[in-house]
Structures are given as C-alpha cells and as structure tokens.
Structure 1
Amino acid sequence: RFNDIEVLIKGNWYDVETFARRHPGGRIINFYRGKDATQAYREFHQRSKRADRILKTLKSRPAVKGDSTTDNDALVADFVKLRADLEKEGFFKPNYAHVAYRFAEIVGMHLLGLYLIFQGWYATGLIILGVVEGRCGWLMHEGGHNSLTGYIPFDHALQILTYGLGCGMSAAWWRNQHNKHHAMPQKLDHDVDLNTLPLVLFNIKAADHQKAPKSKSWIRLQAFLFPNVICSLVAIFWQLYLHPRHAIRTARYHEVACMAARWAFIFGYMPMYFGFWPTLIGAILSNGIGATYIFCNFAVSHTHLPVVAKDDDVSWVIYAAHHTMNVNSGAGGWVDWWMSYLNFQIEHHLFPSMPQFRHPIVSKRVKKLFKKHGVPYITMSYVDAMKVTFSNLDNVGHAFYG
C-alpha cells in the first residue's frame, strides 16, 4: 500500500522523493520513508506553521485502515491521547519567568567566575566558568527544541547567542545532528550519537558501522580517558574545526560572529591582565570542566542501553522506553538542577518540544502509561547511572580489545 518515496503523516501518505533534497531539516526525513512519521512530525514541528504549509503543497493520498501505528499499537494510541491531554492542560506552553531565571543564572555565574579570577581565586573561578559553560549547553538545548519561548525564530536566536558565546559552537550544526538522534535514538546508521570513533565506542555493535580509524589500545582505556581527556578533545575539535566549518560553509555568519566574540574576549581581553600562557591554560582547564560536566551527564541517558538494528523498526514510544532512561531527582531535586531536567530523558524523548522543567510532573503519567502496557520505565539514582555508564565503557573497551 506504500512505497519508499512516501511518508505517512496524520492520515495521509506524502510523496517526499523530490522534497527530501530540500527538506530544511536535512536527510532526517529519509529515515521515515515508507513509515509512519506522524509522531516525529508532531514533535519536531509542533510550533511550525511553515511546516504545515509546506506539507499541504506535497502530493498526497489518503492512508487506509492499518497503515498508521495507532491502528495496530494500543500503546501508541494511548500515548497520542496522553499527549493531547497534556497539550490541552498547558504543559507545552512556555513559562517566561522560568526562561528569565535560566538566563539570569548563566549571566550571574559568568560574572561570579570572572570576579573570583580577578580576585585571585583562580581554581574556584575556573570551576564556576567550566560549569556555566556546560549549563550554557543545557540551556541552548532548550532553544534548539523550541521549548523556551515557543516562538521558533526567537528560540533559535537565543540558542545561537548561548551556544556561540557560552560554548563557542554552532547552533545550526547542533540542531541538524541532534534531531537525527531524537528521530531514532540508538539505531545503527541513524543515530549520530553512535558515530563516536575514533575517540570513544559506546556499543560494540556500532564499531562495524563506522569507517573511522580504530585504536584498540585507546578504546581499551576509554573508561579512564572519557572524563576530561576524551570529553575535552571532542569539545576542542567541535570548537576549532567542526562547528566553525559548518557555520562558514552554510553562510551562518551570525554564528561565526558569536563564536569569534567568545574567543576575542578570552584571548584578546584576558591576556591583558594575566598574560597569554596563563590565559591559555585557564581556558583549557575551564573548557575541559565544562565538556566533562555536560558530556558525562548526557552519556548516562543512552550509551549503555541496547541499540536498534539498522533495518528494524520500533515505535516512537518504544524508542523512548527501551533506549533512554531517567535519573532520579535526588534529595531536594539537586539532580534536576545539575542536569537541567534532562535527567528525565524518557519524557524528553516522548515530548522534545515540552519545556523541560515540566518533565518531573509529567513523568508520573508516563510511568502509569508504561505500566498499563507492560513497558519498562527505566530509572536509577545518579550514582548508579554513572556506575553503569562507566562499566559499559569498560566492558565495551574489553570486548573491542579482544
């Protein structure tokens, strides 16, 4: 009834053979050829009137009974109902006071870190600057998902400023790559977060799907190298090559300007007070702290969980249930702050355009949905999540080394 030039969206099959080449989101649309893309379309384009206008211009035909996953999967049908209820109840609406708090926090942390450095408290200041660099990563993540103000151009502008000035990276590159991850997390040849060689290997099955050079000795030691060394190398590679190259190649000069402003402040202004070499060392240290903070915390959410074979298909809900996990909020909700509510990865993958501070509230209803259908709801303490993440790195290193 369908072929691989079509995708199913909200009851209609759309011919995307020609449109796929100019899809604003890139080749991610090809992941859903011949498949039901309704949930993915809704989550990626909830606030985009432009997407709906484009969709209406594409050649289409009505689907028949049995084509949609909601026709055959009671779990997906109940998920669709839950999502509709949450939307009616206002869970997807932005909270401007929360957004203001988040930005005030990163501005305040930057000012505090710089003040301490100028007062001679170098170690404390660098730690704070490193942590706030990571927190800029958390915050720009919300902008990239359009869940800050709910107005896409403004959210993207906030993301560009936060990621460019705060981390020295490209927002457009991040959106392009991260949406592929959200489309099909932990799926071989689809999820770019599995394409991590030569620096790190999270799943032994991913090794054969990458052409990058592979050092057995390096991967054997990856559990020890991942914090600080590997995380720092990834950040530096992104900052100095991958992200500026993408911004220049795609003529996103506003992103180039933000990244350049960051480096101008660090290596143009700071050396006037501290000299070049102390500034360079401080920049490397704080950058490493920020990279380790955010990459290690992201790693607990997926990397130790099973992968999906490249030719297998699972539903949007099962991707979230089987291939993501949550970390408990901890005493006083400290983990919620530390991970900027992305410790609720199950909810984030089900509802990526929902403001993330609402995930703890929604989690109770998601857990109830999963229990009704006998689907696991994986959650563990922060310490246990770190243990299983680094145990996986060590086990994969052993297996790869042979």
Structure 2
Amino acid sequence: MCKQANQVDSKLKTVTSGDQTEVLIKGRWYSIKDFARKHPGGRIVNFYRGKDASQAYREFHTRSTRADKWLKNMKSRPAKEGESVVDTDALTKDFVQLRKDLEAEGFFKPDYVHVCFRFAEIIAMHAIGLYLAFNGWLMTGIAILGVAEGRCGWLMHEGGHNSLTGHIPTDHFLQVLTYGLGCGMSAAWWRNQHNKHHAMPQKLEHDVDLNTLPLVLFNLDAAAHQKKAPKSKTWIRMQALLFPNLICSLVAAFWQLYLHPRHALRTKHYAELVCMAARWGFIFAYLPQFYGFWNVFACAVLANGIGATYIFCNFAVSHTHLPVVKADDDVSWVIYSAKHTMNVDSGAFGWVDWWMSYLNFQIEHHLFPSMPQFRHPIVSKRVKALFEKHGVPYLRMSYVDAMKTTFGNLDQVGHAFYG
C-alpha cells in the first residue's frame, strides 16, 4: 500500500516516569514495584515499565472487575505535562472510538448457541473418529481424531481469552477441560505464555513465540536473543521439510510429557493434572483392554502428530515470516497488530474461517483479543477502513499464499543461518 499524507509513525513517543517502577494507564502513573510477583498475569507487567500500558490494560482486562479494583488500590500519581501520550495520536484516537462503537453494538457479547455448537462439534468428532479408527476405517478415524485434537486447541484458545461465555472463571474452567482432556496440556501455562505474545507480538526479548530454538528458527534476528543454540546445522537447513509433523510432534510431546505437567504441579493447578491424567488414562489404560496396547499407542502417536501439525502450521502463518521489533523499540498497540501480524482470506464458502476457527483474522484478534472470534469477519471491514484512513497496511493473503510464504521463510532462514 502506498504511503498517504496522514500516514502515522509506528513508533510511540517515549514516556518516562523518572524511574522504571511505574506504568502509565489512562493518564496516571501506577507504581508496580514488586507487583509482578502478585500480578495474576505474571511478569508481563514488567514489559511496560516506564511505558504507556493503557491499550494493553484495556484489552487484557475487558471483563475483569477485579483488575479495576486492584488498580484503584495501587499507589498512583497523575501524569505530568508531556508524560502522557495516551490516545493522543490520530490512529489510536480512532481505534479507541471504534472499540467503543463495537462494544456498544454488542460485538463483545458472548453467543451461547455458538459456544454449544463448538463443544458439540469436538465431542462428535472424537466419537466419530474413535468409531471409525477401530471399525475398519483406521486412517480416516485417526485423521479425524487428529483434527479434533487441534480443534480443542482452537477452542481452549478462546477460553483463555475469556471470549466464550464472557465469565472469566467459567471460561478458564472450560479451557482447563478442553486443553487438559483434548490435548493433555496446561491452560495456566498457555495463558501465562500467550499473553506475553499478545502484549508485544514479534518483539525481541518479549514475545516468547520467538524463542523457538533449538528445534526451529523463524527469524534470523531472533537467533542472537535466545539462550539455546541449534544442535545440528543440517536440521536447521532442513527445517522447512521437518517442521510439519516431525518438529510439531516433538514440540507437542515435550509440552505434554514434561513442560505442562511440571508447570501445573509447580503452580498447584491440580485440576489440570486431573484432566491430563484422565486423558492418558483413557488412551493408555482403558482403550488397550479392547484393542491392544501397541495398536492404541500407534494410533495415538499418529493422531497427536496430525493434531500438532494442524494447529502449529496454521498458527505459524500469522506472524513467523513478518518483521520483528527490536528489544529497545516501542510501537503502539494498533501498529503491533497491523505490521507484525496478518490475515488469511476466508476462501470459498468461508472454509478457512472454519479450518482456522476464525483465527485467520489475526489483525482483529490482536486488536480485540477478548472479542468472540466468530465476529472477526464482520469487524474486519471496519478495521480495514480505519487502517486505510491512516495509511496503515492491512496485510492479508490467500491460504495457499500464506502457507507458501511461511514455508518459504523457513527454508530461507534455515539456509541463511549458517551462511
């Protein structure tokens, strides 16, 4: 898109509070000294030390009355002249107004019929997949079970963003069930990590989704900011071929068998451990009584690999090939969504919307993370108009082009890393 006369600068003005123990929210500086230990969302609050966190606070705490109560009780002071830049640039002002309009029009309200359909879908897919797998349609059943596992990942993602029922405890409970039973993973771990990604997507030393070594590398600039180095030159050079199925399967297995159970145990999320145990008990204790252990084991490994490949490859198209933000740079909430994520077109009859559970609208999802995701296609037209008004690119590709770009980037980075 060509530049327009009113194109915005992606950088924010630097705001400082005199020290790095305060964050700016809606014109007031709040002391966060020692607050990270108490913050329910973890150390993500440290990302905004000395910075304007107004948009992030609004989007992360849309439905949380508890957060507003905490904020009122925190030590604060009004921002001095020149310290506050909240809502002052034209793009942010218009974004804030758009958000208010969308909220008033009901776009953030949950749809319980839609939620029931989503859960009915994954239950039906598991039932059909199990029946087919053990009644003469083995590979078809395994494929359906793999996709069902991936769709549990899509569904729990929405629960983690509090956009299913709109009631935070209920959404988190549904996320625990869906992620624990459906994927064998920890909802609390996911929320802790994923919120860091949403706070500052593609920002070095902030977005945890950039920390992918030693198994895979999506961006050359990210390599120098990671603690782990690749174990094999050949592996990285071949990562475009290895990523679907093998790398995705290894990541999923590491999460399921070590990282997520350890986190749930360490943080005392015992309900998550119960759900994980129930999943593995059903697969490896109950089913083998009828079909034999090794038959069930082989089917489970294949289905797990399909599920991991399905969801990780589809997530990869949204960010991994886009530019990163330097660790010491700051960009606005809207620019993070505009320049460091992208959309995938809905395709014929909206098949991509179903296949990616509406997360093909990543721009809208990053702008409004607590909005029910099935409303993103409608909202996208107004977001696109907002971006065009301010000369901001609205990045979008077809599904095929997005996959080509993603795997082309993997191949290019893999070969360029070692020269």
Same fold (TM over 0.5): yes
Alignment correspondent of 1:67: 83
Per mean C-alpha deviation after superposition, the further-off stretch among 215-224 and 329-338 is: 215-224
Q: Are 2:38 and 1:22 equivalent residues in the alignment?
A: yes
Shift of 1:113: 0.5
Residue 275 of structure 1 deviates from its aligned partner by 1.0
**Which whole-Å CA distance do the structure 2 matches of 1:270 and 1:389 have between them?**
38
Instruction: Identify which of 158, 161, 171 aligns with 2:177.
Output: 161
Q: How does 1:89-104 map to 2 (within 5 A)?
A: 89-104=105-120
Q: Secondary structure at the match of 2:24?
A: strand
Q: CA deviation at 1:18?
A: 2.2
1:144 correspondence with 2:160: yes
- Whether 1:5 and 2:26 are equivalent positions in the alignment is no
The correspondence of residues 210-289 of structure 1 with structure 2, limited to 5 A, is 210-214=226-230, 215-289=232-306
Aligned equivalents of 1:23 and 1:368: distance in 2?
A: 36
Q: Which moves more between the two structures, 206-215 or 362-371?
A: 206-215
Partner letter of residue 117 of structure 1?
A
1:213, 1:20 → 2: CA distance? 29
Cα distance in 1 between the residues matched to 2:229 and 2:403: 27
Q: Give deviations 1:70-98, integer Å, cap 9, x for gaps.
A: 45421111101100110111100000000
Alignment match, 1:82:
98
Amino acid at match of 2:404: K
Partner in structure 2 of residue 38 of structure 1: 54
Q: Does 1:188 align with 2:204?
A: yes
Taking a change above 3 Å as real, the CA distance of residues 187 and 26 of structure 1, as seen in their structure-2 partners, is same
- Tell me how far 1:179 sits from its aligned partner: 0.1
For residues 283-315 of structure 1, the C-alpha deviation after alignment (integer angstroms, 9 at most, x for no partner) is: 110000000000000000000000000000000
TM-superposed CA distance for 1:277, in Å, is: 1.1
Please list every run of 5 or more consecutive structure 1 residues that lacks an aligned counterpart in the other structure.
none
CA distance in 1, matches of 2:328, 2:233: 28
CA drift at 1:57 = 1.1
Checking the alignment, whether the CA contact within 8 Å between 2:27 and 2:86 is kept in structure 1 is no
Aligned partners of 2:225 and 2:33: how far apart in 1? 26
One-letter identity of the residue aligned with 2:343: N
Work out the number of aligned pairs and report it: 402
Cα distance per residue 1:108-136 (max 9 Å; x no partner): 10111011123121100000000000000
TM-score, normalised on structure 2? 0.95
Counting helix residues as a fraction of each chain, which structure ranks higher? 1
The CA distance in 2 between the partners of 1:401 and 1:18, in whole Å, is 42
1:217–1:401 Cα contact (<8 Å) kept: no
- Taking only aligned residues, the RMSD between alpha carbons, in angstroms, comes to 0.9
Match 1:338 to one of 326, 333, 355: 355
Which string of whole-angstrom CA distances, capped at 9 and with x for unpartnered residues, describes residues 55-74 of structure 1? 11111011245434445421
The one-letter code sitting in structure 2 at the alignment partner of 1:88 is A
User: Residues 240-262 of structure 1, C-alpha deviation per residue, up to 9 Å, x if partnerless?
Assistant: 00000000011111000000000
TM-score (norm 1): 0.99
User: Residues 18-48 of structure 1, C-alpha deviation per residue, up to 9 Å, x if partnerless?
Assistant: 2122111111000001111011011111101
Could you tell me which amino acid in structure 2 is paired with residue 290 of structure 1? G
From the superposition, tell whether residues 103 and 71 of structure 1 become closer, same or farther in structure 2 (CA, over 3 Å).
closer
* 1:361-383, Cα deviation, whole Å (9 max, x unpaired): 00000000000000000001000
Specify the SS of the correspondent of 1:14. Answer: strand
Q: Percent identity?
A: 77
